[in-house]
A and B are shown apart, each in its own frame.
Chain A
Amino acid sequence: MKLARDTWLVFQRQLLLMIRTPVWIAVGIIQPVFYLLLFAPLLKKVLAPDGASSYADAYQVYVPGLLAVLCIFGGLFTGFSLLGELKAGIIERSRVTPVSRLALLLGRALREMVALLVQAVLITLIALPFGLRVSPLNLLLAYLLLGLLALMTSAISYGIALMVPTDAAMAPVVNTIAQPIALLSGVLLPLTLAPDWLQQLARWNPFYWAVEGMRALFSGHAGDSAVWQGLLVVVVMTALAVYWSARLFSTRVR
């Protein structure tokens, strides 16, 4: 109960801060729109091996990938805001209060999750006129997957922010992690194009499973085993990431 209340407190404050920084919101909307308008049209031909014969098909494959890539980069980079808060003493000020340590993390990660879900909804809406068709129930399930993914990546990012020796180390560390994850989940180009060893490698990437699950949902195959597999992998990974990051939050001091 206290955890829920404290998380809500932190979440509210974080949301307020985001609303007061409109430039972030603008960037958060413009970037995915560019991906959708400037990159997706290339895909009809490229995605032919995945069975795409029309723009609608291409978007069914591409949009889930784009959403996942937003989560990977958006989530993993959210730790930068924590670096600022650490430096300003805001985290320390919270840590001397009896507020739940886990809430300090969850409130922030949930803010990130909400921001990413808003982006996801926007992208889905923009993709509709291009022929994207997805049933509301499948879409909700895909958003659930996506929300967990956002929670996971932001928890990991906060953990990294607490661990890096200097602020300057954050960007290279995050980039080094995000890049292979994004490439190995087949978000930009499908991994069906990849040689066998690359596909085998991708199976070790939890994001690959998440993307596969979302693609199954977007193509209307909710019963596909990729869906429950994706959900399972993401639930477990999210729990692990939050646990790891929460431990750092309660023990690390800077």
Chain B
Amino acid sequence: MPWQPIPVREFRLIETTGLRKSYRKKTTRRSGEDPTVDAVRGIDLSVAAGEIYGFLGPNGAGKTTTLRMLATLIRPDGGRARIAGADLFTDPAGVRRRIGYVAQGGGTTDNVSAREELVLQARMYGAGKPRAVRAAEDALKAFELGEFGDRPCVTYSGGQRRRVDIALGVIHQPRVLFLDEPTVGLDPASRAHVWAEVRRLRTEGMTVVVTTHYLDEADALCDRVAIVDHGRVVAEGTPEALKREISGDVVLVGLDAGEGAAERAARVLRPQPYLHRLEPDGDGGLRLYLDDGAAAIPQLLRALDASGLTPGTVQLQRPSLDDVFLARTGRSLRQS
């Protein structure tokens, strides 16, 4: 399907305000603490047609819960949401017709083939048998499943199965596709293949929402990213803009581990005027956030030298989305 202009009214394909969900914990009667867990504490989203939009955050941040709410699998406790023109609360059936959803674990049956699954899926979306058979055939071609598409699903590799999962999710050509952690556990080649499929779907006019806890995936695949932590969006924008917010560059300084060298260096560097922020980084390492790394390196080396400190390594880096996460939450995504 070629790119088609989308009516202005529907330009915002997903809009939510204050979407929230809490669960009751199971064993809290004795401990006396608050038995509810706020999985999602009010999420406002606005996703444009044709975007690849990412939820980036650690496990347990509320990404999957948000996605499952948008896919009508969980009823939100509050808030509002419209997806492709259908109201999530008053017209979940309308939402279901317009969206596709692929769960993290997929959902294929071992003893049937991808083709049989695709036909059944198309028929569950209301297609008659001849149309479902054609749709399955088209999907097998488009997702390059032909080679193994008639073997039982139990024989597929992880990457093959993932492609079948995605093909199942879009068999009815939805306006919006939700993908929950689409590349977890895949080898690099299969990952690249999944990314390519997602980009292809976008060029066909689909809007894609993915959750991920991989920084590189959010960076490389998504047009815009919402960084989610503890059930809230803590930052949102294009990966470029988010990284730009982390003023300038990152300089990694490696000092001798132990003997407090890193602490002494931190004391020396903190007052330096060109430094915005300083975080410890592993054993004997410092992570410095500053405007112009190349210009600052000689200055900070002089300052360290004057205090008798000689760094073993100095590296200049562009900020990553992890730096954004660190700046907003005080934790590294890699650690959490």
Contact = CB atoms under 8 A, between A and B. Distances in A.
Contacts of B96: 96-98
Interface in A229-254: 253
Contacts of B120: 9, 13
A49 interface: no
Contacts of A90: 107-109
Interface string B146-187: 000000000000000000000010000000000000000000
B60 interface: no
B112 A93 contact: no
Nearest to A97: B124
Interface in B75-110: 93, 96-97, 99-101, 103, 105-110
B247 interface: no
Contacts of B100: 96
B93 A88 contact: no
A21 B111 contact: yes
Nearest to B103: A89
B105 A96 contact: no
B74 A93 contact: no
A248 to B, nearest CB: 14
A98 B110 CA distance: 23
A174 B331 CA distance: 47
B193 interface: no
Contacts of B93: 98
A243 to B, nearest CB: 20
Contact of A96 (B101, B109, B112, B126): B101
Contacts of B71: 96
A88 B107 contact: yes
Given A88-B105, A89-B103, A89-B106, A96 B111 contact: no
Q: Which of A21, A88, A97, A99 has the most CB of B within 10 A?
A: A97
Contacts, number: 61
B11 to A, nearest CB: 24
Interface string A67-90: 000000000000000000100111
B320 interface: no
Contacts of A57: none
B174 to A, nearest CB: 10
Contact of B107 (A6, A16, A17, A92): A92
B123 interface: yes
Contacts of B97: 98
B111 A98 contact: no
A85 B108 CA distance: 9
B105 A98 contact: no
B105 A99 contact: no
B73 interface: yes
B69 to A, nearest CB: 10
A92 B112 contact: no
A10 to B, nearest CB: 9
Contact of A6 (B103, B110, B124, B168): B124
B109 A88 contact: yes
A250 to B, nearest CB: 11
Q: Which of B101, B112, B123 has the most CB of A within 10 A?
A: B123
Interface of B: 68, 71-74, 93, 96-97, 99-101, 103, 105-112, 116, 120-121, 123-126, 168
What are the nearest 6 A-B pairs in CB distance? A89-B107, A93-B107, A97-B124, A99-B124, A96-B101, A20-B111
27 contacts: A6-B124, A9-B123, A9-B124, A13-B109, A13-B112, A16-B116, A85-B109, A88-B108, A88-B109, A88-B110, A89-B107, A90-B107, A90-B108, A92-B73, A92-B107, A93-B103, A93-B106, A93-B107, A93-B168, A95-B72, A96-B73, A96-B101, A98-B124, A98-B125, A99-B124, A253-B68, A253-B74
